[in-house]
Structure 1
Amino acid sequence: MQTRRYRSIFISDVHLGLRDCQADYLLDFLRQTTSERLYLVGDIVDLENMLLKPFWHASHTAVLMELFAIAARGTRVTFIPGNHDAPLRRFAGQRFGGIDIALDAVHVGADGRRYKVSHGDEFDGEHTAPAWLVRVGDVMQRFVGALNRLGNGLRRRLGLDYRTISLGIKLRIGTARRFIEDFETRVAERARERGYDGHICGHIHRGRIRDEAGTLYLNDGDWVEHCTALVEHHDGAMEVLHWTERELSVANSPAARIATEPLPAAA
């Protein structure tokens, strides 16, 4: 087996405990990559949805066990709870199974760039939507998630690769597209105001690297719809990877390499 080695890896919005979680793809990614730092940027376990509709699969347990194993092998793992696993924020400052729990973090890249790292839901409060619109959004998200699950279930039976269905739908809805773009701008502007070179987050399920007037907005995406992670190469270059039956480079920071050749796994 060949292992891809990175300086840092950032994943979020896994939503273990949700039927739409793509745990098998994430497990494959975790087993085929290594890094010095691993950031779990929120919504790893979907406590919120489990209270409404309890669900758990053996693959979800396997993901948790793999995360603990990664920490035990020496990778420094930091877990930053999001809005779906918010009850775990009360344990900030503690360590569990070798994993540090924090409300946020500051990551210094190999190139010296300083990034604020947080889940991203803290930016929602600045632009609160009406209650009725939030409810409509929740219904639409469940519908799109089910469509993505059923559509890809059919593709697997036909021997076809996984395809993201939901993002195309969201970006064709003007209100959703504007919300995503406004969110990205707010996050980058706040990072610039606070003296950071960029901000790394999740929350909105769209893996992306965007240069906003010299400040980088980086989103590691999710493992419900898009199966993406943000990785830092050893020269500080950032890249968003899509990982299912095939690996694709989705986005790169300035001067990032387009692809990285796999290195032999350590004996």
Structure 2
Amino acid sequence: MDGASTHRYRTVWISDIHLGTRGCQADRLLDFLKAVECETLYLVGDVIDFWRMRRARYWPQSHNDVIQKLLRKARKGTRVILTPGNHDDMLRGYIDHEFGSILVVEDAIHETADGRRLLVIHGDQFDGVVARAPWLGHLGTHANAASQLVNQWFNWGRSRLGYPYWSLSGYLKHKVKHRGRFIHNYETAVVEEARRRGVDGVVCGHIHFPQIKALDGILYYNDGDWVDNCTALVEHDSGELELLRWPEPAASKPPARVVPIAS
């Protein structure tokens, strides 16, 4: 890929890729990784869905291609940092270890080009369901897997009719009763942790809800996911941060800004 088609950023954050599941949009992510260059790449948890893989073996070539691309970026000089999530929590046993030049940390403090300090953390620690009743989290994973299977067939039909990808599972998630309250409680808890740490803001994932906002003087950034939204948080050389929604690989248009989904 030539320089004219490469998007260059100081920092990129992606999370909730869920490799090993049918819902993962690996082809779209691979297209993003090929088109983007950055100094630092944060993998903010749930990169590989070990929860799902314990019950169902699913690992197509496209998922392997994503892993190889991440390793190649690390070998070629990109600083790649992984903060585990609840679906890849087994990696928390390898904190401060490197895998193919990818450093695993519990969380990180990132300093932007304009001097702001941001806590980088997956965020499952602040999800009351996951923290207090892990079995409910696993139950939710199975329900989500079923919705992703329906979503896969739904989009197969759309593609046959010439329509672009549309996340039925994502739409249903955002229509679930009380989801707005759950998101609010989650955001509040994550922001309070950032305040406790004495930083200017927090970058997280976990809830598959891309968002940029300020809450009581603390900056809140959620980089979204690569199942329903295909979003990434990026930092420009100026220190400005924005969310990008990556188009389907067939599209030639540049990435568009995310329009946050109303809760």
Give the 3 Å change call, closer, same or farther, for CA 8–183 of structure 1 in structure 2: same
Given the alignment of the two structures, is residue 250 of structure 1 paired with residue 253 of structure 2, yes or no? no
Of 175, 178, 183, 1:175 maps to: 178
Shift of 1:251: 5.5
Unaligned runs of 5+ in 2: none
Aligned-pair distance for 1:64? 0.4
Match of residue 256 from structure 1: none
State the alpha-carbon separation in 2 of the partners of residues 182 and 56 from structure 1. 34
Among 238, 241, 246, which residue is 1:238 paired with?
241
Corresponding residue for residue 30 of structure 2: 27
Q: 1:208 aligns with which of 207, 211, 221?
A: 211
Aligned to 2:98: 95
The alpha carbon displacement at 1:163 in A equals 1.9
Q: Paired residue for 2:55? A: 52
Q: CA RMSD in A?
A: 2.1
Distance of 2:76 and 2:135 partners within structure 1 = 47
- Partner AA of 1:97 in structure 2: G
CA–CA separation in structure 1 for the residues paired with 2:155 and 2:129:
35
Q: Does 1:199 align with 2:207?
A: no
The residue identity in structure 2 corresponding to 1:106 is I
| 1:60-75 correspondence to structure 2 within 5 Å | 60-75=63-78
Which amino acid letter does the alignment assign opposite residue 5 of structure 1?
R
Paired residue for 2:229?
Answer: 226
- C-alpha deviations, 1:39-82, integer Å up to 9, x for none? 01111111111001111100000000000111111110001111
Shift of 1:95: 1.4
Question: Could you tell me whether the CA contact under 8 Å between 1:162 and 1:244 is conserved in 2?
Answer: no
TM-score (norm 2): 0.88
Q: Distance in 2 between matches of 1:187 and 1:37?
A: 23
CA drift at 1:242: 1.0
1:14 alignment counterpart: 17
TM alignment of 1:98-113, pairs within 5 A? 98-113=101-116
Moved over 3 A (4+): 125-140
Partner of 2:103, secondary structure, is strand
Q: Deviations over 1:93-152 (max 9, x none)?
A: 111211111111000011111000011111125885667865664454234323332222
Query: Residues 127 and 163 (structure 1 numbering): CA distance in 2 closer, same or farther, change over 3 Å?
Result: closer
**2:39 matched residue in structure 1:** 36
- 131-140 vs 178-187, greater mean Cα deviation: 131-140
Extract unaligned runs of 5+ from structure 1: 253-267
- 241-250 or 213-222: which moved more? 241-250
Sort the Cα spacing of 1:100 and 1:221 in 2 relative to 1 into closer, same or farther, 3 A.
same
